[in-house]
Amino acid sequence: MGNVDYGYPSANDNQGGHAHHHRVAVPPPQPFIKSFKNSLKETFFPDDPLRQFKNQSPCRKVVLGLQYFLPILEWAPRYTLQFFKADLISGITIASLAIPQGISYAKLANLPPILGLYSSFIPPLVYAMMGSSRDLAVGTVAVASLLTASMLGQEVSATENPTLYLHLAFTATLFAGLLQASLGLLRLGFIVDFLSHATIVGFMAGAATVVILQQLKGVLGLEHFTHSTDIISVLRSVFSQTHEWRWESGVLGVGFLFFLLITRYFSKRRPKFFWISAMAPLTSVILGSVLVYLTHAEKHGVQVIGNLKKGLNPPSFGDLVFTSPYMITAVKTGMITGIIALAEGIAVGRSFAMFKHYHIDGNKEMVAIGTMNIVGSCFSCYLTTGPFSRSAVNFNAGCKTAMSNVVMAIAVMLTLLFLTPLFHYTPLVVLSAIIIAAMLGLIDYEAAIHLWQVDKFDFVVCMGAYVGVVFGSVEVGLVLAVAISVLRLLLFVARPKTVVLGNLPNSTHYRNVEQYQNTSNVPGVLILEIDAPIYFANSSYLRERISRWIDEEEDKLKSSGETSLQYVILDMSAVGNIDTSGITMFEEVLKTTDRRGLKLVLANPGAEVMKKLNKAKFLEKIGQEWIYLTVGEAVEACNFKLHTCKPDSTKEESQPWNNV
């Protein structure tokens, strides 16, 4: 690039010697196919995943391709004993968290507790081979579990027809996995981006609130409980049966919750002792079980897990349900839980990758997460992803690669083979305490305050998600938040900012008069900047708004008795694109300004805009000589004409665009 001498002779040496003016260029025409291919590439392959395959031998290409889909092939050859030591410690740590959490979340999903263990065995192994995150710890998550329970529960009762319910859960997991993997394969990962940070903060806090409310059942030892998740139904259900509350259960629950929160507080203040809070759930489970065994509390209103079947995951591909009417419920549940789980997994993976300075390919991750769910659904697992809490523990424990997931899976396998009878006396209330402690960490009120301070609209999105989840349902909250977010995008385009520019002192720069308080305006010239692409959604608005700016400016000039308005300069720097409705709008504005005896001038239109204005022959209508590279040059030209040509008197006749 670079060293060519393009010094063409001062392109528009109009109106007496301001040399060195550059004409605004129309970009060279591109064949349609080429520009179409380019925009397809930008839409679906913004990260250019095929770049590494360029200029490689065919053999090397195969290796790279395999490594692309199975990142383990890339890091395994470089794996060292050093790494293994770190992964072993972190793997055992997360296993101690995974076992009680797995059982708890399975209960939350109204599924047999053993499924929580199954789901911590097969999926982590699949992820270890396919995942590109080094810190993600695979497992089930509270929100997706709750969603499964509430969505499947609308069709099939988990207590009356547990087998069908179980099979539907596997089917939903299969469809969630298929959706996730195909989103990745079709390079549609950007759909997840539509769940903004604000949405996720509000949604997570709302879901955590809902999950905590559900735990009141366990903590208070209630037998009957509402199937709804909204706060009003739950509180009504809780307070309508105060006579059923069991104090034994309550005391145990509050005690363990206190213990868990204390350990977490301690570990947070001294990061070196992260393992204290990581081990706390398993400790609680053991303590609780021993306590119940010794006091026979299970006979005094403290519910226990009961029998857990020994043995590894039984195959479940024969149990998948592909018959109506239940399949539709499963598909719907799978879609929604799949998207939510995906969003959490990707966001968690990205955050930790950012910390450790490595890169994660969103679409590749989706394929990995999807595959692990597809495989999982065939081996008695339900929906898994990368939960934030467990991955954070993994990260703090110093994991180096996805091998920590393998260690965890082996630990869970040993538990399944030999240790399940030990969980017989584990009280449910301890599981509730574990869930509550985990959920409290998800209510990120500081982030909400930050949103309020920085961006009110984001705060509205966040609160929309929270209120929707807590007072409506998880789906309502999600739809509400995404709808508000998309509405914001549409509003940005539908109501673009138009600002008046003024001259910065001692410069040829023109800037927003509201942002820069020391600007001065140019007599007889109104300079407007349009701050968005000009599309059908805003072309009517812009037409109205521009004529209102002109009205206001003329009123102001009239009342102060200054020079009358002669020129309207539109700064197009921020207009990224234009469509045919936008071009029509310009034609109408041109007619209006002509009629009012004003001259319309454009400054700095971009490549896309120039291309389309040219094709639509608008450049001929306005006259190429009225398009300038900068606002400064436009003002200079206007000033020059103002002081020499007196356009007032001759305008009506002399201008060629009147007969358009």
- For a second copy, the closer of residues 131 and 533 by Cβ is 533
Min dist CB 14 to a second copy, Å, is 12
Scan residues 446-475 and list those touching a second copy (CB under 8 A): 450-451, 453-458
Scan residues 74-113 and list those touching a second copy (CB under 8 A): none
Decide: is 248 part of the binding site for a second copy (CB under 8 A). Answer: no
Decide: is 607 part of the binding site for a second copy (CB under 8 A). Answer: yes
Candidate ranges 19-27, 240-248, 301-309, 329-337; the one touching a second copy (CB under 8 A): 19-27
Min dist CB 453 to a second copy, Å, is 6
Cα 573 from chain centre = 29
Q: Which residues pair with 530 in a beta bridge?
A: 498
Q: Measuring CA to CA, which residue among 296, 260, 302, 292 is closest to residue 278?
A: 260
- In terms of phi and psi (left: phi > 0; alpha: psi -120 to 50; beta: otherwise), the region of 623 is left
For 52, the enclosing helix (H) or strand (E) is none
- For a second copy, the closer of residues 19 and 294 by Cβ is 19
Scan residues 482-511 and list those touching a second copy (CB under 8 A): 485-486, 488-497, 499, 502-509, 511
Which residues, including other chains, have CB under 8 Å from residue 328's CB and lie 6 or more apart? Answer: none
Of the residues 532, 602, 622, 631, which one makes contact with a second copy according to CB under 8 A: 532
Which x/- pattern, by CB under 8 A, does the window 349-378 give for a second copy? Answer: -----x--x----x----------------
d(CA 102, CA 114): 8
Of the residues 16, 17, 20, 57, which one makes contact with a second copy according to CB under 8 A: 20
Decide: is 544 part of the binding site for a second copy (CB under 8 A). Answer: yes
Decide: is 562 part of the binding site for a second copy (CB under 8 A). Answer: yes
- For a second copy, the closer of residues 102 and 502 by Cβ is 502
In the chain the first and final C-alpha atoms are separated, in Å, by: 42
* Order of strands across the sheet that contains 510-512: 510-512, 498-503, 525-530, 567-571, 599-603, 627-628
Decide: is 4 part of the binding site for a second copy (CB under 8 A). Answer: yes
Give SS3 for 644: helix
d(CA 587, CA 622): 9
Decide: is 566 part of the binding site for a second copy (CB under 8 A). Answer: no
Candidate ranges 83-91, 376-384, 436-444, 519-527; the one touching a second copy (CB under 8 A): 519-527
Decide: is 545 part of the binding site for a second copy (CB under 8 A). Answer: yes
d(CA 284, CA 255): 10
Of the residues 161, 182, 515, 644, which one makes contact with a second copy according to CB under 8 A: 515
Decide: is 246 part of the binding site for a second copy (CB under 8 A). Answer: no
Cα 332 from chain centre = 21
Of the residues 14, 37, 46, 624, which one makes contact with a second copy according to CB under 8 A: 46
Decide: is 538 part of the binding site for a second copy (CB under 8 A). Answer: yes
Q: Which residues pair with 498 in a beta bridge?
A: 530
Decide: is 7 part of the binding site for a second copy (CB under 8 A). Answer: yes
Decide: is 33 part of the binding site for a second copy (CB under 8 A). Answer: no
Decide: is 25 part of the binding site for a second copy (CB under 8 A). Answer: yes
The torsion of the CA quartet 492, 498, 503, 508, rounded to 10 degrees, works out to: 60
Of the residues 639, 651, 655, 657, which one makes contact with a second copy according to CB under 8 A: 639
Scan residues 143-202 and list those touching a second copy (CB under 8 A): 190, 193-199
Contact at 8 Å (CB) between 274 and 396?
A: yes
- For a second copy, the closer of residues 148 and 196 by Cβ is 196
Decide: is 610 part of the binding site for a second copy (CB under 8 A). Answer: yes
Of the residues 288, 370, 533, 647, which one makes contact with a second copy according to CB under 8 A: 533
Of the residues 16, 17, 31, 32, which one makes contact with a second copy according to CB under 8 A: 32
- For a second copy, the closer of residues 577 and 655 by Cβ is 577
Candidate ranges 141-149, 160-168, 408-416, 582-590; the one touching a second copy (CB under 8 A): 582-590
Min dist CB 546 to a second copy, Å, is 10
Min dist CB 590 to a second copy, Å, is 11
d(CA 306, CA 289): 11
Decide: is 233 part of the binding site for a second copy (CB under 8 A). Answer: no
Which x/- pattern, by CB under 8 A, does the window 206-225 give for a second copy? Answer: --------------------
What is the SS3 string spanning 421-432? HHHCCCEHHHHH
Which residue carries 């993997």 as its tokens?
181
Contact at 8 Å (CB) between 219 and 247?
A: no
Min dist CB 345 to a second copy, Å, is 14
For 554, list phi and psi in degrees, rounded to 5.
-65, -40
For 401, list phi and psi in degrees, rounded to 5.
-140, 180
Complete DSSP assignment for 215-262: HHHHHHT-S---S--SHHHHHHHHHTTGGG--HHHHHHHHHHHHHHHH
Decide: is 588 part of the binding site for a second copy (CB under 8 A). Answer: yes
Sign, CA torsion 430/434/439/441: positive
- For a second copy, the closer of residues 227 and 617 by Cβ is 617
Of the residues 226, 228, 581, 655, which one makes contact with a second copy according to CB under 8 A: 581
Decide: is 520 part of the binding site for a second copy (CB under 8 A). Answer: yes
Residue type, position 219, single letter: V
- For a second copy, the closer of residues 198 and 368 by Cβ is 198
Min dist CB 13 to a second copy, Å, is 11
Of the residues 27, 65, 306, 314, which one makes contact with a second copy according to CB under 8 A: 27
Min dist CB 558 to a second copy, Å, is 14
> How many Cβ atoms sit within 10 Å of the Cβ of residue 541?
16
- For a second copy, the closer of residues 264 and 511 by Cβ is 511
DSSP secondary-structure letter at 418? Answer: I
Complete DSSP assignment for 291-350: HHHHHTGGGTT--B------SSPPP-GGG---STTHHHHHHHHHHHHHHHHHHHHHHHHH
- For a second copy, the closer of residues 117 and 526 by Cβ is 526
Give SS3 for 571: strand
Decide: is 404 part of the binding site for a second copy (CB under 8 A). Answer: no
Min dist CB 145 to a second copy, Å, is 26
Q: Which two structure tokens, joined as six digits, stand for 445?
A: 């009120």
Decide: is 294 part of the binding site for a second copy (CB under 8 A). Answer: no
Q: Long-range contacts made by residues 620-627, C-beta under 8 angstroms, separation at least 24?
A: 621/587, 621/590, 621/657, 621/660, 622/586, 622/590, 622/657, 623/656, 623/657, 624/23, 625/12, 625/14, 626/599, 626/600, 626/601, 626/602, 627/23, 627/24, 627/601, 627/602, 627/603
